Amino acid sequence: MPGITDDLVQYVPGVDHARSNHLQSCSTPFRYRQILHLALDSSPGTWPDLCQSGKRQSPIDILTDHTLKVDLGSLKFIRYDYAYSGIVTNTGHNVQITLSGIPVYVTGGGLASMFILEQLHFHWDAEHTIDGVRDALELHFVHYDKKYGNLSNASHYQNGICVVAVLFKFADDDNSDLYNILNATESVSQWVGKSSVEMQRKVVPMLLLPKDRTTYYRYDGSLTTPGCQEAVTWFILTEKLPISESQVNILRNVKTNNGTLKHNFRPTQNQHNRIIYHHLLGYTSTAVMQKEILPFFNFIYVFIIIVYPHLFITS
């Protein structure tokens, strides 16, 4: 659920505020985490306001044949190859990783600014589907545009937030790059309510990205939790990482106030005629013509020469 942190303050209308003694009057902004917990206790189909009425909601099912192929430029992951200390938190609705140290950025891919990494978190099963197929896990790298100063401010602007999503598919063997995070997850999985623990070893964000980052899908969407602000530029990397079923089961056994968190994905939303870009490095319309159209015309030309040679004989 991208964009949800302790310092993100946002009033979400439509929630029964009387359910919590911590909530104040409707005219006052509330701590988003309190509202979030109230809303997430209900079915996504009952989430209020923009979650129901929005036209740029996320996640979506990406139909690969209906994407617009284009070269948007490579994503540039700045300081992703550094090692960082980090905190793993059982928020009661997901497992979130917060890194400490110098800022981590992403840029490129048609982004007009530099975006600062705020946090990472998991969804199991995956939220985005590809041609109707839902993968085992989805990892979100949540960034905000540095010109807005923080995630809370950025959530009020279209494209103020950038989320890079990595899909994981089931494999026979464990993914060793996840050991550090999942070991910490096991430490907090039995603590009902919000709980945190420091990871025993530093984490290198680049190791949580696929090696091939030359292709991705991009579209304009929203947060996938209440209040579903339509402020997100989404990048879904096309190459998937492996994860074993036993590793996913660690996440499925995370305890919450409402029992075990078997899954925490929002169902896919209506695309509403949005353009879904498929970035392919070096892709151009000229290249397509040379590869697909020109050979066809060459075939026609040779065919005519063979069948109607007299057309090319001059007296």
pLDDT digits over 176-212, tens only? 999 999 999 999 998 877 899 999 999 999 999 999 9
State the pTM of this model. Answer: 0.81
Residue 46 CA, distance from chain mean position: 22
Q: Which of 37, 93, 123, 279 is the catalytic position? A: 93
**Distance separating alpha carbons of residues 265 and 137, to the nearest angstrom:** 9
pLDDT at 4: 43
Average pLDDT of the segment spanning 59-65: 98
In 3D space, the residue among 80, 81, 79, 99 whose CA is nearest the CA of residue 89 turns out to be 99
Give the count of beta carbons closer than 10 Å to the beta carbon of residue 245. 12
More confident of the two residues 144 and 21: 144
Say which residue, 221 or 31, is predicted with more confidence.
221
Is 278 among the catalytic positions?
no
Percent over 90 (pLDDT), the chain: 71
Structural tokens at position 97: 């990783």
- Bridge partners, 196 (sequence order): 89
pLDDT at 2 over 70: no
At 123, list the tokens: 């969804």
Q: Six-digit token pair at 272?
A: 């509403």
- Of residues 194 and 18, which shows the higher confidence score? 194
At 246-291, the pLDDT tens digits run 999 999 999 998 899 999 999 999 999 999 999 999 998 654 445 5
Nearest alpha-carbon partner for 168 in 244, 269, 280, 107: 244
CA distances from 264 to 121, 173, 275 (A): 11, 24, 26
Q: Enter the DSSP assignment of 72.
A: -
Q: For position 307, what pLDDT does the model report?
A: 63
Both tokens of 176, joined, read 């060793």
Residue 67 has pLDDT above 70, yes or no: yes
The per-residue pLDDT for 301 is 54
> Is 1 within 8 Å of 94 (Cβ atoms)?
yes
Q: How many residues does the chain have?
A: 315
Tell me the pLDDT of the chain averaged across its residues: 85
- pLDDT of 306 > 70? The answer is no
